[in-house]
Amino acid sequence: MYSPVTSAHVIAIVEDDPSIRRALHRLVQGNGYTVESFASARDFLDASARCRPACLVLDVHLNGSGFELQERLAADGMRIPIIFITAHDDDSTRRRLEKSGAVAHLWKPVDEQALLQAIHRAIWPDDDRERGGTEVR
């Protein structure tokens, strides 16, 4: 049983590819979440005073690095559940993803249901419904 989505559940999307950012925004918003989208880590950080998301969908290889943004948030004491997305399937990226502590890491093109399930897990980590793995291709 899914927990109800409320307007307090803002999902932030940080993706530098405009078409992917729009598609993710429409998908997540179309499933009842309030969505804030950003083209860069800098844009997200500039808005962080007003945008306190329940979850962050973060491209690994955006202008700059998704990993660097994760480290910056941790250094600033901002504990936001992160779902990493990437098109890069190399050993280095895999190792960093596995060590990242992210709720999930998904490969592009992103499976819509896997993303929505990962968002649900991020917002309601104690939900007792059955879950799949954290890696989806």
Q: Over the stretch 51-92, which tens digit does the pLDDT of each residue have?
A: 789 999 999 998 778 999 999 999 999 999 999 999 988 999
* Average pLDDT for the chain: 88
What pLDDT score does 60 carry? Answer: 96
> Phi/psi of residue 30, each to 5°?
-65, -15
Q: Give the mean model confidence (pLDDT) for residues 21-45.
A: 96
80 vs 126, higher pLDDT:
80
Taken in order of first residue, the domains within the chain and their CATH numbers are: 10-126 (3.40.50.2300)
What pLDDT score does 130 carry? Answer: 44
Asked if 13 contacts 28 with a C-beta cutoff of 8 angstroms, the reply is: yes
Q: Which of 55, 61, 68 is nearest to 28 (CA)?
A: 55
The lowest-confidence range among 2-11, 76-85, 124-133 is: 124-133
- pTM of the predicted protein model: 0.87
Asked if 84 contacts 58 with a C-beta cutoff of 8 angstroms, the reply is: yes
Our measurement of the distance from residue 68's CA atom to the centroid of its chain's CA atoms, rounded to an integer in Å, reads 14
